[in-house]
Amino acid sequence: MLTAKEMIDKIKWSNKFNPEDITLTYFDRILNENIIITYKEAKIEDNFIFIEKDNKISEIPLHRLREIKNKGIIIWSRKK
């Protein structure tokens, strides 16, 4: 099974995926819930996802990523 980083790299470099169709679900420890964002909202560097919201940048470690969907279909999911 691919790691989250490997799947993200595959999305980035493969012509099989349209980034506009990709959503990422991560666990927010403060809100204690899963948050869904679009791939386009995320800036991914090394092992972190950076999201800008309300002029604030949030840094989310990739280990909090729970699943990746393409057109609503799960293409990657963290083992439970």
Structure confidence at residue 80 (pLDDT): 62
pLDDT tens sequence across 20-50: 999 999 999 999 999 999 999 999 999 999 9
* Average per-residue pLDDT for the chain: 94
Structure confidence at residue 43 (pLDDT): 95
Provide the residue ranges of all domains of the chain, joining segments of one domain with +. 4-77
**CA 7 vs CA 32, 37, 50, 53, 71: distances in Å:** 25, 16, 17, 25, 15
Does position 55 have pLDDT exceeding 80, yes or no?
A: yes
Query: How far is residue 74's CA from residue 46's CA, in Å, rounded to a whole number?
Result: 23
> What pTM, to 2 d.p., does this model score?
0.90
CATH topology of domain 4-77: SH3 type barrels. (2.30.30)
